[in-house]
Structure 1
Amino acid sequence: MPIRVAGAAAGALLALVSVAAAPAQAAGYRYWSFWESDGGKPWAYATQGPATARPADGDALGFRFAVSNGTDDTSLPSVAPDFPGICGDVAKKDGTKRIAVVVDFGGPADAPPGEAPPKKPVEVGCAEVREDATGAEALAAVAKPLRYDGSAMLCGIAGYPAHGCGEQVAEKSPAPAGSASPAAAEGSGGGPSFGVLAGGAAVLALGGAAIWKARRRA
């Protein structure tokens, strides 16, 4: 009898912790991410916006429209930063620079409600711009019109999407196993929240009381 009660208490505690640790629905943002490549290196997430970035001759810029949870899982442009392949036929002229530009419009799953990506999923071009031109100017030379919001955030490229800018959206799939839920994140060190610990303590206390009573009857 005492063993059964203790086992039930432990089982209840494990159930409480399991429920609290269940992954919550993740939230992401739908936006144009900005990528850079210097001298044929792989795509790297840009550390500044295209309006302030000043690429050099031979660099590549990538733009990808997607729903993302952050820089770690933002989708890369589907075309490699191949400057020779994109700008190889364009000769360098005095006072100008050549920038390879890749614009990836994403897939139907990334599109805002009521919109669809262009039939041509990727736009690639070689921008010939003055030597001090920004990344935004290089982009405009290949795929305009561009649309910005009041804070200069890039919202649309080549007319897509027609509306919205960086909206938060709910992911359909749950967060990966092991990721902290909002409640767990509030606790110190990412551990179980106070509610979980308090609930577990209550379960153990009830189990201990039952064991004590059973021993007295014996």
Structure 2
Amino acid sequence: MNRRRRAAVLLLSAFLLLTATGQAHAAGYRYWSFWEREGGDWTYATQGPSLARPSDGDVQGFRFAVSEDSAHAVRPRGRADFADICADTPARKGTKRVALVLDFGTAADAPSGERPPARRTACARVAPDATASEALASVAKPLRYDSNALLCAISGYPEKGCGEQIAAGGERSAKGAGTSSAARDEGDGDGGGPSVGLLAGGALVLVLAAAGVWQARRRAR
């Protein structure tokens, strides 16, 4: 009986470790990420929109989604060409034009009870020294910020919340969003396969289980 109990304890410990690993991997944050267009690709901005000062002809993007961190943030979708976005906004002396891509994300990443607006683009014509925040405010009011100047809402979306953490088994899981936005969006990176931590945890379960069985058989001889 003691041998069986020891084997059971080993298996239970491994299961709890695997569960914790999966939960840590699934945690993320719901927020607006800020992007800059460089050479036909999106690059995560190194400055916030209140500090970044785009040049005339720049393309910048905003994407609302649940992401683990900046390294795994979800990019804006769709085409992002300055000539197309600003085709109907002629240049004017003493101003600059900035093309903006506003991607409000998917229903899976939306806060409870809210529906994301359709993705859209806009051409902001602003003063030469205007920041990205000022360009955004000229075409997508109302904006909402928290006390730390974190951008919380564009055009009033979402109505509440700001960078809140979404834990494993929380609201997103209840909505059936079993994969991240990056996995659902075409061309946005990895295909949403199991994480290295999850695979390692699974391997540990097998190793501990085999060790428990071997130990029980060895002592039974």
Unaligned runs of 5+ in 1: 1-10, 185-190
Superposed structure 1 runs of 4+ greater than 3 Å apart: 14-23, 199-208
Paired residue for 1:147, among 132, 144, 149?
A: 144
1:63 corresponding residue in structure 2: 62
- Residue pair 1:34, 1:45 contacting (<8 A) in 2 also: yes
User: What is the alpha-carbon distance in structure 2 between the residues aligned to residue 192 and residue 204 of structure 1?
Assistant: 15
Q: Percent identity?
A: 51
Q: TM-score, normalised by structure 2?
A: 0.72
Counterpart mapping for 1:162-173 below 5 A = 162-171=159-168, 172=173, 173=178
d(CA) in 2 for partners of 1:71 and 1:43? 13
Partner of 2:22: 24
| 2: CA distance, partners of 1:177 / 1:18 | 18
Q: Distance in 2 between matches of 1:130 and 1:192?
A: 59
Distance in 2 separating the partners of 1:178 and 1:79: 27
Secondary structure at 2:83's aligned position in 1? helix
Give the equivalent residue in structure 2 for 1:44. 43
Counterparts of residues 1-218 of structure 1 (less than 5 Å): 19=15, 20-21=17-18, 24-25=22-23, 26-38=26-38, 41-118=40-117, 121-171=118-168, 172=173, 173=178, 176-180=193-197, 204-210=214-220, 214=221
* Cα separation, 1, equivalents of 2:193 and 2:46: 26
1:147–1:159: 8 Å Cα contact kept in structure 2?
A: yes
> For the Cα contact (< 8 Å) 1:42–1:80, is it kept in 2?
no
Moved more, 144-153 or 99-108: 99-108
C-alpha contact (below 8 Å) 1:37/1:44 kept by paired residues:
yes
Letter in structure 2 aligned against 1:30: R
1:206 to partner: Cα distance? 4.1
Farther off after superposition, 52-61 or 147-156: 52-61
* Structure 1 residue identity aligned to 2:130: A
Gap runs ≥5 in structure 2: 1-6, 180-191
Answer yes or no: is the 8 Å Cα contact 1:42–1:81 preserved in 2.
no
Q: CA deviation at 1:73?
A: 3.7
Cα RMSD for the two superposed structures? 3.4
SS of the aligned residue for 1:131 comes to coil
Could you tell me how far 1:129 is from its partner in structure 2?
0.9
Measured in 1, the distance between the counterparts of 2:93 and 2:106 equals 39
CA distance in 2, matches of 1:93, 1:166: 37
Counterpart AA for 2:91: K
Structure ID, larger Rg: 1
Q: Give the structure 1 partner of residue 184 of structure 2.
A: none
- Whichever residue aligns with residue 52 of structure 2, its letter is A
* TM superposition shift of 1:90: 2.6
- TM-score, reference length from structure 1: 0.72
* Structure with the bigger percentage of strand: 1
